[in-house]
Structure formats: structure tokens, C-alpha cells
Chain A
């Protein structure tokens, strides 16, 4: 799973919110999706981000709910070297997310763009943004409201796989849907 813990907990929250008759909202306690929350002025040693340890089990027990109220399970798509083109095999994944976002206008997604390690870090940050931007554009064409979608590029800073080989590179060139 490529989701960060906060995203996972929020996914749980969304999922629970759409389960009819479910009264529990136990997955939201870390509340770390409150935006760019870190205050200035705190000194060295600040880590800034509180992330909870919430498991994603709420995703799988949505019996009886509409399919479109569930966040699509595949949340990572991969790219070719030096490319921001959506590969044909991932179009169905994007279509599923577009459908979900259209049907759930209160849902928001952060598209996290990533690159492999080759090249300079800041330029890769820009390339990661271009990759996530290509996904954003796809969703927009599919009728998703721009207000539901945000792009954050991590460049090469958060590799999914370590190693200086093509296998690792291929896993790292990705866009993650973080709900």
C-alpha cells in the first residue's frame, strides 16, 4: 500500500462515512489532514507532522454500500522513464478514481508525484509535479471538479523502493492517489 498513514486514516473516515447506519467514526483521531498545519516559529527539532497508527481495515467491510462510494483500491500508477504520459494499462484506474470523485463531490484527493533518483533533486521535484499534473488533467477532462484535486510533488525524496536499478526506478516513477 502506497498510502501514508494519515491518508489511510482519512480513507477509513471516508469509507465509514459512506457506510449507511454506521455510527463509528473512530478512524479520524489524528486529524492530520487539516491542511498545511505546521506553524512557523517553532525551533529546531520540530517534526511538525503527527501521524496516527490507524489500520485500513475499514476499507474492506463495506458490505451493502454502493460501489461508487468506495475509494478505488488501486491507488498507484507508474510511468515510463522521463515521461508523464498515462500508460494505457492505467486508464481504467484513472477512470475509476474519476468516477469516484464525480460521485463523491465531498471527497478530496492529493496526487503525489514521484520520480526515480536519477538527475538533480529540485529538477526531479518539478518532473514529479508534471507527472501528477498529467493525472490531474486526465481527471479534469473526465469531469472531476478541480477543487477536489491537489497536486503535491515529492520528486525523488520518498522512494517506494531502494536501489539503483531499473526495477527500483520503475517502482519509484509513480503517482499516488492519497485520499
Chain B
């Protein structure tokens, strides 16, 4: 257990007071025992005074992934800044498997970061790259370094340069305010996308990462909107009588699946965003909601209570009968596909209450991943390594994340208000 929040981070929060209510901090709640030791040495500073500690951002990213256990800085008795300064024997003695070194210099108005990744046991350089960044892109530059390091070692594309959308609320009953935010995947750089005194629900990223679909009750009835993230420009897509709920993008970005109750009970529909052509997918006297498109675009999974309680079903879009996927326990809901389509992540109620679980589709085996209170709204990182979800800490709603194997987890509490319904963006670069 290690708290990642450092004093400079706290200082940053205070400096950004207007944003502080939405800014999320990070507490590691469960470290991975089998994480790979890595040393991210503080980058040498060649005349560029920086408001951000780039090496610390990289170390935090790598630790949060659950794959790595960054070496404490106090344990680093030397701080090389390039591969030819590294005395491998010293770092082997610290059981370090990999190390990242770098130096930062001025480049016009911005900075130039030269970094290298070394395999300590093999005494070899694996990666070397120069990144230039404007002063307002320093964190983005660090996340890019994290992405490259992560992929070079694990073979898995890094997802540190992605973003999350989430909803906050304050107040109770008739006196509430709701906001939709977009932030970096580590909770920083939050920006408000929408504010309302009526509920905002179910944000969902378009596959190109440029738009968000969500449900807003701002007209006293639920309606589904699609909003361009950069401009705030938006359109109201559906406002049928009854529920307009749970939008989910098709992988090609042309359609949304959603739950509508215009014909009575909530059913799953798809709508073509261009033509507004509406197609009904399910037909049953029970509740059908929470659709999610398979990565190959050929089927939808959704929650239905046709068996008495909520369970996950799969419907091929070409027709045919729906197939029930979950049989473990009597509450399985709001499933989302892993990016490879071979597993689903969902909310499962077992002896430990509502938790994030993974079910492998081949074996049908379900494993609880989280150890949280009232977990809900799981959303999978685009590289499939982590799942972000909503939970409770004290009396407040916070975001949590757990690795896809359940070994590592962390929380992202906000300074105030309730935070929920996180949605992890696709790859943005």
C-alpha cells in the first residue's frame, strides 16, 4: 500500500483552485505483488525550470498500471541521466529490472525531453527518444513516455495518454447540481463539459474519441445528446416518450445502441446517427437496458431481467435468439466487452456486495475483481489492462480502478461532491 499523492501534487491542486472541485487525486489501494521493479530516475534539468516533475508522472503512471513497482527515490544513490552513465551493477544490487533516465532542456518556448529505457539485467538500451512539448503539454509529454516504456516492456500498447469522462453531483432531492467532466486518465486537467440542475447520466465516448453521448434530464425528461468534446457543440439525438437511456456507440461510430421505453417496457434499439433510422433489437415483456456493442460490431450484450433478476444476454445483430451469458449469482448487470472481445466486465452481486467482475466468454468463468463498496459503471481501458468504475468511500461517491486480473487497484477521490459514471476514452493518438 503506497500513497502516490505527493506534496507537489497537493500544491498544484491549491494553485488550480477553480478546478480543484473536479480534480481527482490518486491513492493506490492494492499494489501488485508480482509487479516488475523499475527505476524511473529524476530527469536531469538542463536549464528548464518545470512546474511538473516528469519522471514522477511516468513513475506514477507505471505504478497505477499494476504492471510495475517503481523504486523509491530515496533508494537511488545515484541519478544518471543517460545510458552511458548507468553503472548496471549498482542497479542490479537494488533488484531493478528496468530503468528510465532522461534530461530536460529548453526548446524555444517549450522543452525538449530526451529519455532512454534500459534493461538492467541484460545491460542493454531498449529505447531512446526525444519528445518536445509546449509548456502546457508537459503532462502529455510524460504520459507519452509512459506509453512508450510500457509498450517496450510489456508488448501492450500503453493507455496513459487517454482521457476519462465522469459525472459529479452535489446536493440532495430537489436541490442538486450535476456536471459532466472530461479529464486525463490520471484525473488531472479536468474540464467541465456540461452543467445542469437535472441529472446527467451514462457518458459514452465515440470510437474516434471526439464526441460524447450522454443522457441529460435538463428538459425535465431524459434525452440522449451527442456533444463534440473540443467545441461543446451538441445535438439532441433522441427524446422519445419514456426512457432514453444508456447510449453505446457502434465500433464504426455510425450508430448508437440505447434503451427506450417508447413502446412500453425498456427495450434495446439502435439508431443510425446520420439518418436517424431507428431499429428495435429486443422484444420481451421484461426490462432490457445497458447495451454494449461487441468489438466486431456484430452483436450487442445487454442486461435483461426476463429470468427474474438482471442477467447479461447477447443478441446477434443479424437476428436469431438471444443467448444468456451469465449464470453465476442472481445479479449481473451493465456488462462491457474487453477490447479483444474474449471477456466481459460487469457488475456482479455476490457475498461481497456489488463488485466489478470479469467473465471469460469461452469458459463462462466469472471472477470478482474489485473489493469496493457499491461498485457500479465499469468502463474498460482501450488496451484492456484496467477497468475504471464508481464506488463509495465514506459517504461519498469516488472513482476506483482495478487491473483486469484484479491484482492492482487504486482510487481517484475528488475534493468534493460525488463522482460517478466514469467512461474511459479510446486511444486518442
B289-A44 in contact (CB<8A): no
A49-B197 in contact (CB<8A): yes
Q: How far is the CA of A43 from the CA of B193 in the complex (A)?
A: 9
Decide yes or no whether A73 CB sits under 8 A from chain B: no
Shortest B414–chain A CB gap in Å is 16
In the complex, per-residue mask of A151-175: 1 if CB is within 8 Å of any chain B CB, else 0: 1111101111111100000000000
Q: Quick one: given A40-B225, A158-B173, are A120 and B347 in contact (CB under 8 Å)?
A: yes
Decide yes or no whether B303 CB sits under 8 A from chain A: yes
B242-A151 in contact (CB<8A): yes
Interface centre among A3, A37, A158 (most CB of B within 10 A): A158
Decide yes or no whether B380 CB sits under 8 A from chain A: no
Decide yes or no whether B198 CB sits under 8 A from chain A: yes
Q: Which of A56-64, A97-105, A123-131 participates in binding chain B?
A: A123-131
Q: Quick one: given A36-B221, A45-B192, A152-B220, are A2 and B174 in contact (CB under 8 Å)?
A: yes
Q: How far is the CA of A6 from the CA of B220 in the complex (A)?
A: 10
Chain A residues whose C-beta falls within 8 Å of the C-beta of B377 in the assembled complex: 120-121
Chain A residues whose C-beta falls within 8 Å of the C-beta of B395 in the assembled complex: 162-164
Tell me the chain B residues, 194-237 only, with Cβ under 8 Å from chain A: 194-199, 201-202, 216-223, 225, 227, 231-236
B243-A40 in contact (CB<8A): no
Task: Specify the chain B residue showing the minimal Cβ separation from A39.
Answer: B236
Task: Specify the chain A residue showing the minimal Cβ separation from B216.
Answer: A48
Q: How far is the CA of A43 from the CA of B194 in the complex (A)?
A: 8
Decide yes or no whether A46 CB sits under 8 A from chain B: yes
Chain B residues whose C-beta falls within 8 Å of the C-beta of A45 in the assembled complex: 192, 194-195, 232
Q: How far is the CA of A155 from the CA of B266 in the complex (A)?
A: 13
B201-A46 in contact (CB<8A): no
Shortest B335–chain A CB gap in Å is 10
Q: How far is the CA of A105 from the CA of B289 in the complex (A)?
A: 34
A159-B172 in contact (CB<8A): yes
Decide yes or no whether B376 CB sits under 8 A from chain A: yes
B261-A129 in contact (CB<8A): yes
Tell me the chain A residues, 83-134 only, with Cβ under 8 Å from chain B: 110, 117-123, 125-127, 129-130
B172-A118 in contact (CB<8A): no
Q: Quick one: given A48-B219, A49-B219, A161-B172, are A43 and B334 in contact (CB under 8 Å)?
A: no
Interface size class of A (residues with CB under 8 A): 35 or more
Q: How far is the CA of A42 from the CA of B223 in the complex (A)?
A: 14
Shortest A158–chain B CB gap in Å is 6
Total CB contacts across the A-B interface at under 8 A: 160
A122-B334 in contact (CB<8A): yes
Interface size on B, residues (CB 8 A): 60
Tell me the chain B residues, 250-293 only, with Cβ under 8 Å from chain A: 259, 261, 266, 287, 289-290
A120-B334 in contact (CB<8A): yes
Decide yes or no whether A32 CB sits under 8 A from chain B: yes
Q: Quick one: given A6-B220, A154-B217, are A121 and B376 in contact (CB under 8 Å)?
A: yes
Task: Specify the chain B residue showing the minimal Cβ separation from A130.
Answer: B287
Residue B172 contacts which of A35, A39, A152, A160 (CB distance < 8 angstroms)?
A: A160
Decide yes or no whether B185 CB sits under 8 A from chain A: no
Chain B residues whose C-beta falls within 8 Å of the C-beta of A161 in the assembled complex: 172-173
Chain A residues whose C-beta falls within 8 Å of the C-beta of B357 in the assembled complex: none
Q: Quick one: given A2-B173, A47-B196, are A123 and B218 in contact (CB under 8 Å)?
A: no
Chain A residues whose C-beta falls within 8 Å of the C-beta of B60 in the assembled complex: none
Shortest A172–chain B CB gap in Å is 10
Decide yes or no whether A5 CB sits under 8 A from chain B: yes
Decide yes or no whether B421 CB sits under 8 A from chain A: yes
Task: Specify the chain B residue showing the minimal Cβ separation from A82.
Answer: B309
Chain A residues whose C-beta falls within 8 Å of the C-beta of B231 in the assembled complex: 43
Q: Quick one: given A129-B261, A159-B172, are A122 and B245 in contact (CB under 8 Å)?
A: yes
Q: How far is the CA of A126 from the CA of B195 in the complex (A)?
A: 24
Can you report 9 A-B residue pairs in the complex whose CB atoms are below 8 A from each other? A35-B219, A46-B196, A48-B196, A49-B218, A49-B219, A119-B354, A121-B202, A121-B421, A122-B201
Q: Which 4 A-B pairs have the closest CB atoms?
A: A48-B218, A44-B232, A43-B232, A40-B236
Chain A interface residues toward B at CB < 8 A: 2-6, 32-33, 35-49, 51, 110, 117-123, 125-127, 129-130, 150-155, 157-164
